[in-house]
Amino acid sequence: MTVIIPILGDQLSHELASLRGVNPADAVILMMEVMEEATYVRHHKRKIALIFSAMRHFAEELREAGWSVDYIAIDDAENSGSFTGEVRRAVARHRASAIRMVESGEWRVKVMIDGWAATFGIPVKVLTDDRFLCDILEFQTWAQARNDLVMEFFYREMRRKTGLLMTDDGKPEGGQWNLDKENRAPPKRGLNYPEPMHFTPDEITLDVIALVEDRFGAHFGILDKFALPVTAAQARRALGHFIRTALPDFGTYQDAMVTGQDWLYHSWLSPALNLGLLLPLEIAQAAADAYARGDVPLNAAEGFIRQIIGWREYVRGYYWLEMPDVADANALQATRPLPEFYWTGKTDMLCLAEAIRNTHDHAYAHHIQRLMVLGNFAMLAGVRPQEVADWFLVVYADAFEWVELPNVLGMSQHADGGRLATKPYAGGGAYIDRMSDHCGSCRYDVKKKTGYGACPFNALYWDFLARHEQRFRRNRRMVNMYANWDRMKPEVRDAYRNSAAEFLETLEPAAASWAK
Ligand code: FAD
Ligand code: DLZ
Ligand code: SF4
């Protein structure tokens, strides 16, 4: 009576619910490298290498812990190319009596798993993924009790639930729940930016890198200087390094952007976290402990913990609440194709070129690059949100649909009509100039509003507000913007709109083959 336990590429945690309470003698763990997962979008080469290497290391660790692991490599001759095909073969090979697994991270895969009991004629037990702090049902209950899904209130619930940064009498540490006001400093000269910890690839990783170059060589990105953690032990070292070197300044400079500085004070822990090499509570607790020891200020610890137990859990709840309809959402009716420069980086707009260079070289860009540069530009230019979402899903090593889609469609493109964020994250050149050192070296003049040489973000910003006036004018958080628009002379408004139209004419659409 063998039970098959499939473990997917983002379930690489020894604490996984499907392993708990099972006698290894009664079970076979199934891990599958399959073309369907590697190509449903054409993921960045570094992302595929990371996932395959982490999967292979995890399989080794499971074997050492006494489990039987049936590992299907991508180049195995009999590999059928899909999860369903591989589970079918494994059920026959092991004469399995049942399947037991943790729910998938993505809707697409859930639909597959839902069909397995009928297809294979054996019971399929699907367990809650309790690596998350808030399960799908709990989030649904929370959401049903309110009209607006305000992240801040959800976050406070998570603080109470975990006890992180809470005083003994149930108050937030320092008296305030959220110290974001202290976390918007522009970069200064003379700051020292720590590098994330680099890990030299071992033989397993080197083999995978060669395989990815061979099989997926035409995908976006590069594999050079691969240095990501691929095991839980490495990820824990990376966490300790981040807490010591970067967390103290994480809060203050959270929104800053600096040319040539790819991480600033960010953690670059999201790939390890999303694969399961680290658990969210473990990371958040480490930050709270650093605060308790007096090693980091409260604004840093609170800001960082909010991202993990607040935003990350919240977007996951939102994903399962709103899927599958949200995937097609396009409230602003944006239809422009994604510009080619998102793939090539060939643009004179330095802020975009920098964010795309970082993305291409490391499968990384930090939050403000993703939101206020890459996402902001696409929304202002009216790019179809599904093309933007495909791009984001391809290019980041941490991109899994449950976290990528809410961030792209909800937070950055306002495609859900404001369900996730009441106000669109739109900004002109002045915002980017304030938060970065890019504009001084850019071919465009950020101070120039319209016409030849003017920063394109300026005209695009006002053109966006004018295009969507009917929708946003009554938004209380946008009253000041429309008051400014109203104060402009008609010829100034026309100049903005004409400048935007002229600029948009110059955008080359991307060749579709990059993403799919
Ligand atoms: P840090 O700045 O060090 O933050 C710490 C951790 O907080 C991150 O590792 C991450 O786990 C979590 N976090 C922070 N912000 C968010 C958020 N908005 N949603 C969920 N978790 C968050 N994050 C992903 O993990 N995968 C994605 O595919 C993804 N796509 C995004 C797309 C857009 C348009 C935007 C605006 C944000 C996206 N994010 C995504 C959120 C965030 O940008 C990344 O988590 C972060 O940049 C990862 O880098 P880091 O580990 O250095 O983060
Ligand atoms: C992203 C990805 C890739 C590129 N390849 C695999 C794979 O070959 N095998 C696997 O188990 N997982 C892979 N993944 C991650 C999956 O897409 C992810 O686990 C599911 O989408 C979650 O529902
Ligand atoms: Fe970006 Fe405009 Fe600044 Fe150039 S001037 S870096 S395009 S914001």
**Does residue 398 line the site of ligand 1, with CB under 6 A?**
yes
pTM above 0.95, yes or no: yes
Distance 176 CA to ligand 2 centre (A): 40
Q: Which residues of the chain have pLDDT under 50?
A: none
Per-residue model confidence (pLDDT) at position 233: 98
**Does residue 33 line the site of ligand 2, with CB under 6 A?**
yes
Q: Do residues 483 and 360 both lie within one domain?
A: yes
Q: Do residues 317 and 177 both lie within one domain?
A: yes
Could you tell me if residue 216 is inside a domain? no
Burial, 516: exposed, middle or buried (Cβ in 10 Å; 0-12, 13-18, 19+)? exposed
Per-residue model confidence (pLDDT) at position 148: 87
**Does residue 368 line the site of ligand 3, with CB under 6 A?**
no
Per-residue model confidence (pLDDT) at position 115: 97
Distance 387 CA to ligand 3 centre (A): 23
Per-residue model confidence (pLDDT) at position 184: 81
The DSSP element (H or E) to which 110 belongs, if any, is helix 107-114
The residue among 67, 96, 127 that closes a domain is 127
**Nearest CA owner, ligand 2 atom 8:** 33
Q: Do residues 470 and 401 both lie within one domain?
A: yes
Q: Do residues 145 and 267 both lie within one domain?
A: yes
d(CA 436, CA 447): 14
Q: Do residues 179 and 302 both lie within one domain?
A: yes
Could you tell me if residue 330 is inside a domain? no
d(CA 280, CA 304): 11
Three-state DSSP at 74 gives coil
Q: What share of the chain is helix, strand, coil (3-state, %, to 5)?
A: 55, 10, 40
Domain count, the chain: 3
Tokens 């480490």 sit at which residue?
286
Q: Do residues 189 and 278 both lie within one domain?
A: yes
Per-residue model confidence (pLDDT) at position 511: 82
d(CA 373, CA 270): 20
| Domain with 475 in it | 341-514
Give the model confidence (pLDDT) of 222-246 as tens digits.
999 999 999 999 999 999 999 999 9
**Nearest CA owner, ligand 3 atom 1:** 351
Q: Which of 328, 347, 348 is nearest to 409 (CA)?
A: 328
Could you tell me if residue 236 is inside a domain? no
CATH number at residue 40: 3.40.50.620
Q: Do residues 346 and 492 both lie within one domain?
A: yes
Q: Do residues 104 and 148 both lie within one domain?
A: no
Q: Do residues 404 and 449 both lie within one domain?
A: yes
Per-residue model confidence (pLDDT) at position 74: 98
Which atom of ligand 2 sits closest to the CA of residue 400? Answer: 21
Tokens at 154, concatenated? 């959800």
Q: Do residues 58 and 142 both lie within one domain?
A: no
Q: Which of 421, 415, 406, 412 is nearest to 475 (CA)?
A: 421
Q: Do residues 24 and 102 both lie within one domain?
A: yes
Tokens at 429, concatenated? 């050149």
Asked whether the beta carbons of 313 and 280 are under 8 A apart, the reply is yes
Which atom of ligand 2 sits closest to the CA of residue 31? Answer: 11
Label residues 435-450 b or e (16+ Cβ within 10 Å = b). Answer: bbbbbeebebebeebb
**Does residue 9 line the site of ligand 2, with CB under 6 A?**
yes
CATH number at residue 456: 1.10.579.10
Could you tell me if residue 217 is inside a domain? no
d(CA 300, CA 399): 25
Could you tell me if residue 145 is inside a domain? yes
Could you tell me if residue 229 is inside a domain? no
**Does residue 312 line the site of ligand 1, with CB under 6 A?**
yes
**Does residue 407 line the site of ligand 1, with CB under 6 A?**
yes
Per-residue model confidence (pLDDT) at position 181: 85
The residue among 127, 153, 176 that closes a domain is 127
Q: Do residues 113 and 68 both lie within one domain?
A: yes
Q: Which of 70, 67, 88, 61 is nearest to 19 (CA)?
A: 67
Per-residue model confidence (pLDDT) at position 515: 85
- Residue 414 backbone class (left: φ over 0; alpha: ψ -120 to 50; beta: rest): left
Per-residue model confidence (pLDDT) at position 189: 80
The residue among 292, 322, 352 that closes a domain is 322
Could you tell me if residue 215 is inside a domain? no
Could you tell me if residue 207 is inside a domain? no
d(CA 236, CA 272): 9
Q: Which ligand is nearest to the CA of 431?
A: 3
Tokens at 160, concatenated? 């109470």
CATH number at residue 153: 1.25.40.80
